[in-house]
Amino acid sequence: MSIQTTHKKLTLRIDGPLAALGRISAVAGNTLREAGRNKLFFGLLGVTILMLVFSILLSDLALADQKIRLVTDFGLAVIPLVCIATAVLLGAVLLYKEIDRKTLYAILPKPIRRGEFLLGKFLGLSVLLFGQLVVLTVCWAGVLYLRGGSFSLALAQALGLSYVEILLVTSAALFFSALSRPVLSGVLTMGVFLIGRITYVINDLMQATKGVFAEVPAMRALGRVLVALVPDLSTFNIADELQAGVALPPDYFVHATLYGLSWVGFFVALSLLVFERRDLV
Amino acid sequence: MTQQPDDILALDHLGKTFRVGFWGKKVQAVRDVSLTLKRGESLGYLGPNGSGKTTSIKCILSLIQPTSGKIRLFGADPSDATARARVGYLPEAPYFYDYLKPTEVLDYVGKLYGLDSATRKKRIPYLLDRLGLAHAMDRELRGFSKGMLQRVGIAQSLLSDPDLLIYDEPLSGLDPIGRKEVRELMAELRREGKSMFFSSHVLTDIETLCDAVCILDRGEVVAQGRLSDLLRMDKLESEALVDLPTDGQDAATTRLLAVAGVELMEQTGAMLRLRLPTDAVPGLTAAVVDVHATLRELSQRRESLEELFVQRAVHVSTDGQRTVPASRSA
């Protein structure tokens, strides 16, 4: 066996933002391809579609004027939750799998910066989750149509904010995945999600004149820490306002999106810091 | 250590300490390793398991950060992606995404190197064909044997036509035919002027493929230099086959073994196989004449790399005595 390498030197495009973008998209593409072969992902997608279809049958049990509302509530509750569950399950193993299977050792010695690799992984998973959200939304819109309802702009805005929440949870999963093993990173990400969803409750309890958060200084301090460290995810949940017909100020969506993306930026930056310094033994 | 323009890799007092266990106990995996690799040179990195070879390689490729010392790769820090772009790396027992086909793995790697689509389309089938994987181009890696994965690993390491090849145990786990093929491939690449840095346990391969070696033991360099210098360093030895006379064989044997430096390796009937330093040959021949024996064969033998390796890769025990580990003294 003999091999001939090229006599004319190959042109490698390493420097510049376009080259970096090319590497990030290559990693994102591979992440997408890997997740696209994940049975868990498709299982979850299939079960959720079945649940959405099943909501037609469920709505038959409701009063005549509540049928559309039931399908709407069901979709608004289930779709973001399933996407967040996917983000936690896939995000928690995002980096660990690469290290555990040693695939990372063949990739990182190439002319790719660790930050680019991390961003590629995050981007790939974000695109996958967006695809999941779109597929489920289309199914849900079909179910709504069959039930006599329609998919409104308000519903699209609600799901848009849900996607910001999904991105936020994904970025938290990415950070914990860069720090720890899958089970721990999954638990920590779920912790951020659950506390984030009830941050407003903790806030209310701290402002009350009675109760454990108001009366016990240690609990008050804990409450303060939780509120400061965990993003308020209720910002992205506007289902109640939609159902109550409460009109949200037009700049609410912009502010909520910016708030969410700031947290995404924070978690991604922390992940970069951790991953850049990590020894890949 | 001052880096010369011709040095493409320089390790300057490299050290790496890990903290292990709950209490963060320090374990020094690599200590004070200095070496240089010049353009077109081939360096064998040897050492028993756990001697720090892979740790050093991971430092060179910026997968782990050294605790002390400096590394210069093409004159730059290994964290510089542009320097790493000139390196083709084959990890030990390479793992790739098993859901991909060889063409997809190479396409992914090609994108990371910034190779344009036309080059990738031309070069990927060429390399896979050259590495005997043409028949398996469209099969997922999950069904590949270890040898086939090794070839995919070599193909991806050559994709960017790098100046330096860093191979970690490239011959491990291959069957004899696979080893022969990979060895020939490496020899071919060496003839083409590629610089090579590779670790291996297979000493005969290192002897044939390398200009220089660096032997590590417990993270420390125990021997280093050009192979020709190292193997000559401990003097050339000679081996003699002597037929004893019919009478007075015991006395003749005693007389021959009395020559300074002569050692008995083996006795078969009236034939002695002796080992002696080359400068003791005149003394032995004189003794042979004295006892009326016959010198049937006299050959000069060079110390093998294996002997050097066993001799140098010894452990220093707590009382300061150097001992050959039982597994290697046999």
Interchain contact, A5 vs B63, CB within 8 Å: no
Give the count of domains, chain A. Answer: 1
CATH 3.30.70.1150 positions along chain B are 235-301
Q: Which amino acid appears at position B292 of this protein?
A: H
* Average pLDDT value for residue range B208-225: 88
Would residue A121 count as lying in a domain? yes
- Each as own residue / partner, the long-range contacts of residues A132-138 (CB below 8 Å, 24 or more positions apart, any chain) are A132/A41, A132/A45, A132/A82, A132/A83, A132/A86, A133/A79, A133/A83, A133/A159, A133/A162, A133/A163, A133/A166, A135/A45, A135/A49, A136/A45, A136/A48, A136/A49, A136/A52, A136/A79, A136/A82, A136/A83, A137/A75, A137/A79
Residue A213: predicted pLDDT: 78
Interchain contact, A111 vs B116, CB within 8 Å: no
Alpha-carbon gap, residue B52 to B146, rounded angstroms:
24
Residue B94: predicted pLDDT: 81
Question: Does residue B220 register a pLDDT over 80?
Answer: yes
pLDDT in tens, B155-177: 999 999 999 999 998 887 778 88
pLDDT in tens, B277-324: 888 899 999 999 999 999 999 887 766 777 777 777 655 444 445 454
Residue A227: predicted pLDDT: 85
Is the CB of residue B239 less than 8 Å from the CB of residue B282? no
Would residue A11 count as lying in a domain? no
Interchain contact, B184 vs A2, CB within 8 Å: yes
Q: Which amino acid appears at position A121 of this protein?
A: K
Residue A176: predicted pLDDT: 93
Residue among B115, A45, A231, A128 at smallest CA distance from A120: A128
* Average pLDDT value for residue range A239-247: 78
CB-based contact, A14 to chain B, within 8 Å = yes
Q: Which residues of B touch A94 (CB under 8 A)?
A: none
The better pLDDT of the pair B249, A58 is held by B249
Q: Which residues of A touch B189 (CB under 8 A)?
A: 3, 5
pLDDT in tens, B268-288: 889 999 988 888 899 999 999
Interchain contact, B130 vs A101, CB within 8 Å: no
Interchain contact, B81 vs A113, CB within 8 Å: yes
Q: Which residues of A touch B152 (CB under 8 A)?
A: none
User: The domain containing residue A136 runs over which residues?
Assistant: 17-277
Pick among A110, A114, A277 to test the B interface (most B CBs inside 10 A): A110
Is the CB of residue B230 less than 8 Å from the CB of residue B213? yes
pLDDT in tens, A147-164: 888 888 888 989 999 999
Mean pLDDT of chain B: 86
Question: Does residue B36 register a pLDDT over 90?
Answer: yes
* Average pLDDT value for residue range A230-254: 85
Give the residue from chain A lying closest to B185, CA to CA.
A2
Residue B326: predicted pLDDT: 43
Q: Which amino acid appears at position B17 of this protein?
A: T
- B7-231 homologous superfamily: P-loop containing nucleotide triphosphate hydrolases (3.40.50.300)
Tell me the CA distances in angstroms from B268 to A274, B13, B139, B242, one per residue in order: 68, 51, 58, 10
Interchain contact, A14 vs B114, CB within 8 Å: yes
Alpha-carbon gap, residue B16 to B221, rounded angstroms:
14
Interchain contact, A2 vs B100, CB within 8 Å: no
The CATH architecture of the domain made up of B235-301 is: 2-Layer Sandwich (3.30)
CATH 3.40.50.300 positions along chain B are 7-231
Q: Among A2, A29, A111, whose Cβ lies nearest the Cβ of B85?
A: A111
- Most confidently modeled range among A29-38, A129-138, B210-219, B314-323: A129-138
Question: Does residue A40 register a pLDDT over 80?
Answer: yes
CB-based contact, A61 to chain B, within 8 Å = no
Q: Which residues of B touch A277 (CB under 8 A)?
A: 65
* Average pLDDT value for residue range A64-75: 83
The better pLDDT of the pair B320, B119 is held by B119
Q: Among B81, B108, B131, whose Cβ lies nearest the Cβ of A14?
A: B81
Alpha-carbon gap, residue A38 to A41, rounded angstroms:
5
Q: How confident is the model at residue B197 (pLDDT cuts 50, 70, 90)?
A: very high
DSSP secondary structure, B288-304, as one string: HHHTT-EEEEEEEEPPP
Interchain contact, A30 vs B97, CB within 8 Å: yes
Is the CB of residue A266 less than 8 Å from the CB of residue A168? no
ipTM for the whole complex: 0.85
Would residue A3 count as lying in a domain? no
